[in-house]
């Protein structure tokens, strides 16, 4: 049975040599974009390929489409093939600690209809802390034909566009969930985007509220209760999650799935796309 949300370090240790598994190292630092790749070369889980959030898990920025626009899916398929991933591969993604960047890889694969993808609980920090093996340098990749992905197309039902957000935010039947820290949601301490605040009528659920101090996710019952406090009676297929650039929102989408709350959508452009045009309304919390 495939892993589709989370996997423990213990379970992963039993599959390190499995030919049908591929591990993606997604460690990243927004302030120092090359740090994750440097850390990867120093030490990583044996066999892992490095997935750079900017280069591999994002597309070309235009200045109006957000800080981490979705990659072109044909280019992304080529990257998957270069990593040795086919539509039948079990993929495990990890980052340093809480899964925030790994969840971006998780969501992108789900977007292509690939459900056999999971995030490592506690990340590389937990892996190292428990004394599991590591490797250094670059891995020799066994790429596969990109043709294996020819019949896989993105699923447009799991995301919404800017135009859709502009309409649905005015509909009380829908719920917009902002995944950023409470201060940024309130319009305070904004250091990443040129405009502070949030999309009017959105509610806030900080993605770090999904995890415990060791980077592992909260118990399912607690996750579910936390989300239901925010979502109320809103049907899950009428929930749209966003963040600053479409990365940390994926962590909330993963946590929802872990909690058995399935159906929410991603607004990939998120706040950095929304605030790129000065005529769009902005809300803050006094």
130 within domain boundaries: yes
Q: What is the pLDDT of residues 75-97, one digit of tens each?
A: 999 999 999 999 999 999 999 99
Position 286 pLDDT exceeds 80: no
Residue 243 annotated in active site: yes
| Total number of domains constituting the chain | 2
Residues 13 and 144 in one domain: yes
- Stretch (H or E) spanning 229: helix 220-231
Half-sphere exposure for 185 (CA within 13 Å, toward CB): 16
Which domain covers residue 242, as residue numbers? Answer: 157-274
Which of 26, 243, 250, 275 does the annotation list as catalytic? 243
Do 92 and 183 belong to one domain?
no
Q: Is residue 217 part of a domain?
A: yes
Going by pLDDT thresholds of 50, 70 and 90, the confidence category of residue 143 is confident
What are the tens digits of pLDDT across the range 187-197? Answer: 999 999 999 99
Would 286 be classed as within a structural domain?
no
Residues in Cβ contact with 12 at an 8 Å cutoff, skipping those fewer than 6 apart: 23, 45, 92, 120, 127
Tell me whether residue 279 is in a domain: no
Q: What is the per-residue pLDDT for 254?
A: 98
Mean predicted confidence (pLDDT) in 220-225:
98
125 and 168 inside one domain:
no
Model confidence at 285, in pLDDT bands (50, 70, 90)?
confident
* Element housing 271 (H / E): helix 270-274
Percent of the chain with pLDDT over 70: 100
Global confidence as pTM: 0.97
């Amino acid at each position: 049975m495939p892993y589709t949300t989370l996997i423990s370090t213990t379970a992963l240790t039993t599959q390190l040599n499995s030919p049908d598994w591929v591990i993606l190292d997604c460690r990243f630092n927004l302030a120092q974009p090359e740090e994750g790749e440097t850390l990867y070369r120093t030490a990583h889980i044996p066999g892992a390929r490095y997935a750079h959030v900017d280069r591999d898990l994002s597309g070309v920025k235009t200045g109006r489409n957000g800080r981490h626009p979705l990659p072109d899916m044909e280019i992304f398929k080529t990257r998957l093939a270069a990593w040795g991933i086919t539509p039948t591969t079990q993929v495990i993604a990890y980052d340093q600690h809480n899964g925030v960047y790994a969840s971006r890889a998780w969501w992108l694969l789900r977007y292509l209809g690939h459900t056999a993808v999971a995030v490592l609980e506690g990340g590389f920090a937990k892996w190292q802390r428990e004394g599991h093996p590591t490797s250094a340098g670059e891995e020799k990749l066994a790429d596969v034909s990109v043709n294996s992905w020819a019949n896989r197309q993105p699923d447009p039902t799991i995301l919404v566009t800017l135009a859709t957000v502009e309409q649905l935010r005015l509909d009380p039947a829908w719920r917009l969930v902002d995944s950023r820290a409470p201060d940024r949601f309130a319009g305070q301490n904004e250091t990443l985007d040129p405009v502070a605040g949030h999309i009017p009528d959105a509610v806030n659920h900080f993605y770090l509220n999904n995890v415990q101090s060791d980077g592992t996710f909260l118990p399912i019952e607690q996750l579910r209760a936390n989300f239901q406090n925010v979502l109320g009676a809103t049907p899950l297929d009428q929930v749209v999650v966003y963040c600053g650039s479409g990365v940390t929102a994926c962590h909330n989408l993963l946590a929802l799935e872990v909690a058995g709350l399935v159906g929410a959508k991603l607004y990939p452009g998120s706040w950095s796309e929304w605030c790129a045009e000065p005529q769009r309304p902005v809300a803050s919390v006094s």
